[in-house]
Amino acid sequence: MTNSLQKILEFLKSNDIAPSNNLIQNSIEATAQINSASILLRTKIIGESILQIEIIDNGKGIPPQILEKLGKQKISYDKQQTTSGTGIGVFNTYNYMKQVGGDMHFESILNIKIIITLTLPIKLFS
């Protein structure tokens, strides 16, 4: 593993950024009832200054009226358990990404997939 990748992974873990837990946990829950569930975590460096992380799952997706509120409000969608699903994890991650100069984008196709794209400035890892 390269030194840069190690720094990135350590940063994500130490700052409790959702790709390492909340967003992936949401994908696990969204695909729990699917026989051929798929969760893909894809990373890419854009230019020399941006790290992009995509989380893609083939769960139910999220309707547009909920999607537009994600991150901006504490909102949850289709949680089966009453002890989880306040939306605070996505809300906190979204606001953290903005605070450090990054971004978080949601794209959903109902009953097919959701793609969550996180972008972070690489300077955070140096």
Taking CA 125 as the corner, what is the angle to CA 123 and CA 126, rounded to the nearest 5 degrees? 70
Of 10, 26, 30, nearest to 18 by C-alpha is: 26
What's the total number of domains in the chain? Answer: 1
Report how far apart, in Å, the C-alpha atoms of 8 and of each of 3, 30, 40 are.
9, 27, 18
Domain at 13, CATH number: 3.30.565.10
Q: How much is the pTM?
A: 0.78
For residue 40, what are the domain limits?
A: 3-125
- What is the tens place of the pLDDT at every residue in 59-72? 888 889 988 888 88
Per-residue pLDDT tens over the stretch 8-63:
666 666 655 544 577 877 888 888 778 888 888 888 889 888 989 899 999 888 88
